[in-house]
Structure formats: C-alpha cells, structure tokens
Amino acid sequence: MAVNELLYVSASEVARRIRAGEVTSLAAVEAFIAQIEAVNPALNAVVFKRFDVARAEADAADQRLRDEGADALPPFHGVPCSVKESFALVGMPNSTGLMQRKDLRSTSDAVTVARMRAAGFIPLGVTNTSELCMWMESNNRVYGATSNPYDQTRTVGGSSGGEAAIVCAGGAPIGIGSDVGGSIRMPAFFNGVFGHKSTGGLVPSTGQYPHADEGVARYVVTGPICRHACDLMPFLRIIAGPDGVDPGCLPFELGDPATVSFEGRTLVSIEFNGMERVSDELLAAQRRVVAHFESLGAVVRRPSIKGLKKSFDIWSACLAAGSKTPFGTLMGQGTPIKPLTELAKWTVGRSQHTAMATLLAATESLLDHFPAHRARLLALKDQVRGELLEHMGEGGLLVYPSYPRVAPKHHSPFLRQLTLRFEYAYTALLNVLELPVTQVPLGLNRKGLPLGVQIGATHGQDHISIAAALELERRFGGWVPPSQWL
C-alpha cells in the first residue's frame, strides 16, 4: 500500500490499517506531516505544530501494538488528527486569535481532547480560528487568515476554518471543532467536508476558550470535522457525555445510524428563511437531496414558518440573554476595550483586534436597552422551535440551506454584514434551537467550489442526521479532493 493513500481514506480506515499491521502509526503520522508541510504555506491552516512530539507518540503507539496486540488497543490507536486552537492541548497555544493570549501555552487538555487522546488519536498541531471564535472568517491578528483549498482567494469560514481546510486538503483525516453560530458547519460547507453540530448539551466544552457562560453552554457545541461520514458517529461517541464540570452537559443515550430507515420518515424541507435568498445552484442541490429521500419513501413537507425571518435577531437575543461576560471584556482579557478607539486604530493598522470583533463589541449591548423586545424574541424562539418540531414529528429530518451562496471571497462576509446582510442566520438559528445538525458535501459547482446542505434532526437524535449523511455520501459521493493538493 502506498502511504499517501492514507490521505484519501477515513480515520476509521487508517485505524484499521494500523491495527492490521498494514502501516505503522509512525508512517501514517509522517504521511500527514508531509502533506501539511506541502499545503500549509499556501493555506495557513495549521498555526502551531507538534510534529516531533507526534512522532514520539506514534513510536510509542507502534511499540504498544507489538507488546499488547490489536485487541487491547483503543479504537483510533495511532491515528493522526488536528485540533482547533481554541481547545486546550498540552504545550500548544490557546490564544483563540487574541493578541493578549498569544504567548500562552496550555498545561492540560480540554476534556474532549483528552478523550480523543485516550481513544488513540495523535494530534499533529492546532488550527486557525476567528478572533475569540465569534466571526465567520478564520482571520485574526495573531495568525492571519486561512485560505480555501479549492480557491485561495476565498474564505474557509469560521470559526473552525483551519480545521476544515486542513482536513479537506489531506493534512489530517479528522479534527475537532466548536460551533455557536455555524462554526463547524460553515467551514465544513465552504471546504467540502462533513461536520456535525451535536445536540445542545451532548458534549462538554470544558477546556475551551472562551469559556461558555452557563446561560449559553447548550448553544456552544462541539463535534467532528472529517472527509468521510463513517467517522462522524464513532468520534461523537468518544467525546460525548458529562464530565462533571460543564453544567450544560447532560447524559444522552446515542442511537445507531445503522438502524435508521427513511421509509415513512418525515422530511421537512425549507429553502428560504425570509431574510437571505439562496442561490439557484444550492437550491438545486437541496432539491436533489429531497428527491432522493422521497425515492426512499420519506414523506416530504414544505412548511412556511414566518418566524424564521427573525433568525438572526433570535440568535442574537439568546446569546445576549445567556452571556454574563460582555464580548468587549473578553477582548480586553477582563478590562473592556473601547470599541470606537479600536476602530480608529484599525483604520491605520494599529489595533490588536479585527474589525469584525470590534464592531461586535460596539453593538453587543444594544438589546440591553430594549428588554421588552428581547423578551419577544426569546418567546419567538420557542414558537419557531415548536412549529418546526411539530412539522418534523418524532424522528423527523430537516433539510435546510447551509448559506445563501458557495464559499465567498475573503472579506466579502464582513462587507455584506456592514449592509445588514446576515447570511449566517441559516446556521446560527439552529444553535439556539439546540438541534443536532450534520453538514453534508454534495459535490462541486462549475467553478470547482463545494455545494452542500444542512441535515437536522430532533433533539438527542444525532444518529438520524448522521444516517442521512451516510446515505447522501453513498448517493452523491461526498468529499471531492481539491485537485491542487491531492
């Protein structure tokens, strides 16, 4: 077997080959290191590397296989991976793109990272984010911007953009991301890979920065980013479950995707949220998905839910209501920044912060001045959730746009936000509804950019949206390797 074949297969297949003695863990680690070194100068996805440590860990993994045999080993023994920089990983930076934290090094692992390593994964390094994980482009003053493997003039999304980019480009078979408004799903969509936003409360966020306040802990979720759908459920099982620290994390019994049939299952398809119209090519892709499930016996509904028009406002109100620490205070590491001063500095290249983060700090408290309006939005969230779940029924599916267009050019989302175009409302609303959602790639458009769609399920039914992802990968092919790099 050629070692570079590992760059195309699933993490589960890499694990199988290591356990079977077809390839060593060290050879696998070296193959992915070589790929990172080839693509990263252009992409800027991996922002801090631990290659020598990973090699030593791979050597130890190979020795353990020789000493103990395959049956005694964890499921992903010796398999390389990547980790979003906002997760603590011993010896690695944990700045989340904030200049005041750029010299910080983690002395312990985030709980999910510790669970990954206990399952056998070997991290190769940490990947880029947006500043404090609160924007949809992975660009900050510590590391700069990450570029899309399919077209380097385009964004990778955020805030888990570095993860999605390096996984797409073959630098790791799987990685871990976090998501409060689409931060797993948008990067997965823009980079043509799979990403899963877990049910609110399924996975603890202990050891991530910024720390989620208790009121928003179930909106901030963690999940896998990978090239092959078969890795989604095994990875989710590894990281799920209470840790006794995160108050938002609850015990769930995870189901099995293999038991899911689509015959007679309700599928709700919504093509427009009343705010941002979706491009024809993405609507066509979504309709192909719906037609396929209909051919499998699914019962399709196409309801109109008027409250979706307030998706961005609902999401903003929920985050504002649940957050005790103002974003501007996080930016200043405990001391509130002066947004207008920072914006003035930014115009002459002297601010330590990105413009989008500074604008967020400037506007975040607006709803505090209108408590009655915020209360109406919180009530509207419950109404929208109730309507949606009523249409889906028990065990139903939601097919919903990921974004109004394919991966945009660098800085384009920022400019559109200035004109009040809240395009990420398609992903953001689903966080505060706490539903599990899987981002599914659906091939490339005529310009070679990824198409895709979100597949949602009802609360706690992560295995159903993952089963849908497995079926769509079988039907439409899933991840398409970017020709420039693979």
Q: Which of 20, 142, 126 is nearest to 69 (CA)?
A: 20
Q: In what order do the strands lie in the sheet with 437-444?
A: 46-49, 122-127, 80-84, 174-179, 221-226, 194-197, 437-444, 450-457, 397-400, 266-269, 299-301
Which of 147, 183, 205, 465 is labelled catalytic?
Answer: 183
Contacts of 170 (CB under 8 A, 6+ apart): 7, 8, 32, 35, 39, 481, 485, 486
| Cα separation, 267 vs 115, whole angstroms | 34
**Helix 462-476 to helix 232-239 angle, to the nearest 10 degrees?**
160
Q: Which of 319, 449, 461, 470 is nearest to 398 (CA)?
A: 461
Contacts of 1 (CB under 8 A, 6+ apart): 17, 22, 23
Q: In terms of C-beta density within 10 A (0-12 exposed, 13-18 middle, 19 or more buried), how is residue 123 classed? A: buried
| Cα separation, 262 vs 182, whole angstroms | 26
| Cα separation, 448 vs 331, whole angstroms | 37
**Helix 51-68 to helix 25-43 angle, to the nearest 10 degrees?**
160
Which of 159, 178, 351, 465 is labelled catalytic?
Answer: 159
What residue type is assigned to position 327 of the chain? F
Active site residue 279: no
Active site residue 159: yes
Active site residue 84: yes
Name 178's bridge partners: 222
Size of the chain in residues: 486
Provide the CA 160 distance to its chain's centre, in angstroms. Answer: 5
| Cα separation, 93 vs 481, whole angstroms | 30
3-state secondary structure of 455: strand
> Which are the catalytic amino acids?
84, 159, 183
